[in-house]
Amino acid sequence: MGDLMLGNEAIARGAYEAGVKVGTAYPGTPSTEIIENLSRYPGVYTEWAPNEKVALEVGIGSSIAGARTLVAMKHVGVNVAADPLLTLAYTGVSGGLVLITADDPGMHSSQNEQDNRGYARMAKLPILEPSDSQEAKDMVRLSLELSEEYDSPVLLRITTRLAHSQSIVETAEPSQVELKPYQKDAAKYVMLPVNARARHAKVEERRQKLEELAETIPINRIEWGDRRIGIITSGVVYQYAKEVLPDASYLKLGMTNPLPRRLIEEFVRGVETAYVIEELEPIIEESVRSWGLPVHGKDLMPRMGELSPEIIANRVLGETVSISHPAPAALPPRPPMMCPGCPHRGMFFELNRSKVVVSGDIGCYTLGASPPLSSMDTTICMGASIGAALGMEKARGKEFARKLVAVIGDSTFIHSGITPLVDVVYNGGTTTVIILDNRTTAMTGHQNHPGTGKRVSGETAPSLDLEALVRAIGIERVRVIDPLNVKETRQVLKEELAAEAPSVIISRRPCVLIDKTVRPPLAVDQEKCNGCTACIRTGCPGLELYEEKKVRINTQFCTSCTLCAQICPLDAIVEGGTANG
């Protein structure tokens, strides 16, 4: 009997079994658990890199030095790593290198739903797509073997429903894989134009060899069934289709770049009606159509969001969902929100109060965009807050900067906030940058980063000194505050907004989920409370309105952070709560 594993756990297991020596990543949903799991296996070096570009560059070095290497990131992380990736495609590898791209159709936890199969085509790289955890594990080994055989990095594309679904995996003993000898080879690894031109010719040769491989590789397979319906598909979508149409014929593509033209032609000619069922972009479909083959695809299937068994049943068979138990009413949504006791709440309460423009970034604090805090004007990508704030100031002038801040988390600042801060200083910006330093990478589940003093393994590391770093960049006004101290936060924010000089406020307090201090909940003095609801505007789940205009503490949630007590104009929120007071 095997064991139940998440797709991400299975990928880590596959890397361990295939002799991976180095695994690197920056956390990002839905990829994070790959390195977390890999770090628990013996004999594998793993790291959280400061960002995906660095993660891939460390991986490239490891591969050139002769080790089997795994690099993991979410789909948008590949954008950050695209620069080294597109040239790695030319240099090729020594030790096998697999890059896991964890795409997020449906945007469960992402800012876009780009289809990273597009990168495989652009970089002319092989890309594999597993459809369950067992395949995910097996395809890691296969990727590394193909990588070495074809002198190419290999992309392994997973999606949220593969990364975060569990299914049964058979494990094996790890293989002993020796380091390849290190050999200096400037023509292969020094991408001067003269060398790069020669390497591009190799890339083209490789592309043609891979096209031949695609015709015969066992992960591209035809499953003949009822020939009235033929389905070409890949990844977890294969499982959705099998659920709905278990008896149809299938061409299951484990490798979706390059595509096996002859195999596809044989399949399409062997069925009455062929469908390409793929999530997001019509990448397989457009190739198939370009060969003059008649298939259905995006004429029926949505080009946005996740697919599902329901959608396939509807678009292929015309079935509609039959609901026996409709929801009894229009129900209020339950959006994610900042946790009770979250230090970000103190800062966002003040930002809301001071009505400033907030150039935002990616992390838990993006929830500061939601009501009642409603204090974020932009969120684009990791690190964009600071450059965007500078751009706003340059477009609208220094006066605008007196009502403008950039907010960015500690992990995000280290990821890609440093260079735009250099730009602010260099080009005379006067904006205020707030580093929301909660001492962790919170959103993805509390991973360490260079500022936390610990590595992925938990071992002690030097801790990046944010104050010294921003001073070295040239910021003279550096303030450190506790965001749950309302008076201090209000005063410092006022002073730094007014200053016609670039400034950094380090808003420092550990994430409430890593601070293990247990404090008794607060209580509301019902004699004093006049129901003004000022406290409710913090949006804290630890506060409840009842009987029209009375407030009480929800003792299940209250962490005694005292933000509401400091805000209450009547001092009606006090220490020493027991029952619901």
Partner 1 sequence: MGKVVNVIIVGVGGQGTLLSSRVLAKAAMLNGFDVKMSEVHGMAQRGGSVVTQVRFGPKVYSPLIRMGEADVVLAFEKLEALRLMPYLAEGGRLIVNDLAINPLPVMIRAAKYPDQEAAAVKEQMKNSCFFNATAIAEGLGEPRAANLVLLGAMARYLDIPEPVWEEAIKATVPAKAQEVNLAAFKAGEKA
The minimum distance between CB 564 and partner 1, in angstroms, equals 13
Q: Quick one: 54 or 443, whose CB is closer to partner 1? A: 443
Choose which of 87, 171, 195, 239 interacts with partner 1 (CB under 8 A).
239
Sign of the C-alpha dihedral computed for residues 111, 113, 116 and 118 taken in this order = negative
For residue 537, CA distances in Å to 373, 375, 382 come to 7, 12, 28
Minimum CB separation of residue 31 from partner 1 in Å reads 10
Tokens standing for residue 561: 């952070």
Q: Which of 23, 129, 119, 31 is nearest to 79 (CA)?
A: 119
Sites for partner 1 among residues 217-236 (CB under 8 A) = 236
- The residue (of 225 and 309) whose beta carbon lies closer to partner 1 is 309
- 541, 552, 567, 574: which one binds partner 1 (CB under 8 A): 541
Residue 109 CB-density burial (10 A; 0-12 exposed, 13-18 middle, 19+ buried): middle
- x/- binding map, residues 432-471, to partner 1, per CB under 8 A? -----------xxx--------------------------
CA of 66: how far to CAs of 12, 431, 480, in Å? Answer: 20, 46, 45
> In 3D, which of 257, 278, 311 has the Cα closest to residue 124?
257
By CB under 8 A, name the one of 170, 212, 223, 243 that touches partner 1: 243
Among 21, 124, 141, 161, binds partner 1 (CB under 8 A): 161
User: Is 184 a binder of partner 1 (CB under 8 A)?
Assistant: no
Chain residues 313-342 in contact with partner 1, contact rule CB under 8 A: 313, 321-329, 331-339
Query: CB of 374: closest distance to partner 1 in angstroms?
Result: 11
Q: Is 387 helix (H, G, I), strand (E, B) or coil?
A: helix
Q: How far apart are CA 129 and CA 551, in angstroms?
A: 52
Residue 479 and residue 498: Cα distance in Å, rounded? Answer: 14
Position 275 contacts partner 1 (CB under 8 A): no
Q: Which residues contact 216 (CB under 8 A, 6 or more apart)?
A: none
- Member of 302, 305, 372, 576 binding partner 1 (CB under 8 A): 372
- Asked if residue 164 binds partner 1 (CB under 8 A), the reply is yes
Site stretch for partner 1 (CB under 8 A), options 76-84, 145-153, 157-165, 272-280 = 157-165
**Residue 516 within binding range of partner 1, rule CB under 8 A:** no
CB of 250 to partner 1, least distance (A): 11
By CB under 8 A, how many residues form the interface with partner 1? 60
Q: Tell me whether residue 162 or residue 481 sits nearer to partner 1 (CB atom).
A: 162
Considering only 58-66, 282-290, 366-374, 459-467, which stretch makes contact with partner 1 by CB under 8 A?
A: 366-374
**Two tokens, residue 197:** 């031109």
Shortest CB 160 distance to partner 1, Å: 8
Q: Of 381, 425, 499, 536, which one interacts with partner 1 (CB under 8 A)? A: 536
State the amino acid at position 105 in one-letter form. Answer: P
Alpha-carbon torsion (199, 202, 206, 207), positive or negative: positive
Cα separation, 93 vs 76, whole angstroms: 23
| One-letter-per-residue 3-state SS of 104-142 | CCCCCCCCCCCCCHHHHHHHCCCEECCCCHHHHHHHHHH
Our finding on whether 180 is near partner 1 (CB under 8 A) is: no
Interaction of residue 580 with partner 1, rule CB under 8 A: no
User: Quick one: tokens of 192?
Assistant: 């001067």
Of 152 and 233, which has the nearer Cβ to partner 1? Answer: 233
Least distance CB 350 / partner 1 (angstroms): 18
| Contact between 518 and partner 1 per CB under 8 A | no
Q: How far is the CB of 145 from partner 1 (least distance, A)?
A: 27
Name residues whose C-beta falls within 8 Å of residue 347's C-beta, 6 or more positions apart in sequence. 365, 368, 407, 434, 436, 483, 489, 507
Whole-number Å distance between alpha carbons of 143 and 151: 11
Chain-centroid distance of CA 15 in Å reads 20
Residues paired with 504 in a beta bridge:
433, 478
Does residue number 579 form part of the binding site for partner 1 (CB under 8 A)? no
Q: Of 14, 23, 30, 230, which one interacts with partner 1 (CB under 8 A)?
A: 30
**What are the residues binding partner 1 (CB under 8 A)?**
1, 3-4, 6, 29-30, 32-33, 108-109, 132, 161, 164-168, 236, 239-240, 242-243, 246, 308-310, 313, 321-329, 331-339, 364, 367, 370-372, 443-445, 536, 539, 541, 543-545, 556
